[in-house]
Structure 1
Amino acid sequence: MPNQYLDVLRADLHPATRHHRATKLQCHVGNLVSAAAVVTGIGLLALSTACTSNPPAGDVARTPTTSATTTPPVTSTATRSRPQPSPSLPSASLPSAKTVYVFPIAGCKASASQSHHDYPASDIFAPVGCEFVSPVDGRVDEVTTVDRWNPKTNIGRDRGGLAVSVVGVDGVRYYGSHLSAITTGIKPGLQVRAGQRLGLTGNTGSARVTPPHLHFGISWPTPANHWWIRRGTVPPQPFLTAWRNGRQLSPAPTVLKTKRTYGPDTTCRSYC
């Protein structure tokens, strides 16, 4: 037998050559199976590591070429990851909970005055014994439980008779006076909710000489006994009208603006 045929026969019988050729055949078959799996939607899970094995010495590794018209693999819905949630919006972009306001007299027909003498406030006329309720969520500020008003002296700090003030969650103070009674348990620091009863309408203080009514004032919070601020600094009429009609109108911006223009708070300025 010629020597060149013997060399070919020896190469074919060499174990490394036989292993390499068998590996190539397995890879070829594996690629066909993978392509069929992609088409049927099963998806290709992994490639055999044998397809990336180095060829034996003497063989040349060839880089497979990809046609420009090759169809991209189809992803199976069974293995598709769930969509990730969108990043949270900044807290400033989220809508904040609205403050709830209610008309301060419940269970009775009441009529609020559209003006007030000497300083901003409203006299809400109603029969004795109607519920005076907190117009907003907040905490009880000051409570006056003794009627010290004397018509002969008419001292400003005593005109309100029995009274309760509440500092709302909106930072505004709400004051009601001339009460006939204060609800049991109402005391400074108590947390209250909008519509919670604080007392009953009446005619204590200077209301002894007028029809019974609730004196209602809006102001900014102050240290205790600054009654000339507590009695009212902002006209409450537009807010009372809104709350009676179910509209949520906050006096906070108006109160803040008024406080800035009021200047230093040292003592009573009018009708003292």
Structure 2
Amino acid sequence: MRSGHRSGHTARLAAVAGAVLAVGACGSPAGVAGVSTVPPASGAEAAAADPVTATIPAPVAQGEPSATPAVAPPKGDEPVPVPPPKVSEFTYTFPVQGCETSYQSKLLVLPKTTIWAPKGCSFVSPVDGVVHEVNTKNRWRPSTDKGQDREGRFVTVLGEDGVLYLGGHLDAVAPGIAPGTRVKAGQVLGQVGNSGNARATASNLYFAISWKTEPSLWWVRRGMVEPWDYLDAWLKGNRTLSPAAETRAMVKRVGATPKCAILCASKAPERKPEPKPEKTRISLND
């Protein structure tokens, strides 16, 4: 009997021990060697144990402006105007002064340009030089359309750069302007008009670049070098861009006295038919 009582007591102790072990297993996670199975402390406990101070910006909702103030960039210095480089020893000026102008930068039959400007505007010498030809009379007639008269009243200037400049369709030539007169860049040579074959158009300046020839070679003075690149430069401030090199190259290519190739022929004057002589009637009664 005593032996049976001990066996029952031993069994109850074993059951209690197993229950304690089971509860311990549930309350503490299993671990491995070298790794603590104690759960981490709560946030409050961790802050109390090792406090950390930090500033974390609050998230900005999409579409809301940022609370960070905009930083204005520093203002730079005002730009310093730099003059264009000097590319020749000559100084030029745009050939029409005192008025608003316009012109086309493309070839229109001849290598020249038409500078549109109000009547009476000043045509000035584009460079220092000497007056070469002057025509104060408007000799052009539509019935003949002679090539040498198409520019109407005109003045040509042989520049110190060796280039010849023509201003045509003038309304008048300035007083004192005659062949051999020395002129300066910007000096008035005449007034813009519509003489010559421009009489049916608005007033304008026929402007052309070539080289010195005899008046009989009128097709040379009316334009051999395209002028608009130089006009653009003189108008926009680069007053030393010179057509001298291009003009010399053109002379070398076509010769100093080339033959006329474009708009050369004049109209033959119309001849009125001569009246036929009346026939004499003879009467038989005479």
The 5 A counterparts of 1:177-216 are 177-216=168-207
8 Å contact kept, 1:138–1:167: yes
Alignment correspondent of 2:263: 271
Equivalenced residue count is 178
TM-superposed CA distance for 1:225, in Å, is 3.1
Larger Rg: 1 or 2? 2
Instruction: Could you list the structure 1 runs, at least 4 aligned residues long, displaced by more than 6 angstroms after superposition.
Output: none
TM-score by length of 1: 0.63
TM-superposed CA distance for 1:256, in Å, is 0.4
Distance 1:152 1:116, change over 3 A: farther
Aligned partner (choices 253, 257, 274) of residue 261 of structure 1: 253
Residue 251 (str. 1) matches residue 243 (str. 2) = yes
**SS of alignment partner, residue 199 of structure 2:** helix
Distance 1:97 1:230, change over 3 A: closer
The 5 A counterparts of 1:1-272 are 98-247=89-238, 248-263=240-255, 265=257, 267-272=259-264
Distance 1:210 1:139, change over 3 A: same
TM-superposed CA distance for 1:96, in Å, is 11
Structure with bigger helix share is 1
Identity among equivalent positions (%) equals 46
**SS of alignment partner, residue 248 of structure 2:** helix
TM-superposed CA distance for 1:215, in Å, is 0.4
TM-superposed CA distance for 1:264, in Å, is 6.0
TM-superposed CA distance for 1:263, in Å, is 3.1
Matched to 2:173, the amino acid is I
**SS of alignment partner, residue 178 of structure 2:** coil
Q: Which structure 2 segments of 5+ residues have no match? A: 1-85, 265-286
Q: Deviations over 1:143-170 (max 9, x none)?
A: 0111111112211111000000000000
Matched to 1:110, the amino acid is T
TM-superposed CA distance for 1:209, in Å, is 1.5
TM-superposed CA distance for 1:114, in Å, is 1.5
Distance 1:235 1:138, change over 3 A: same
TM-score by length of 2: 0.60
Alignment correspondent of 1:17: none
**SS of alignment partner, residue 177 of structure 1:** strand
Q: Which structure 1 segments of 5+ residues have no match? A: 1-94
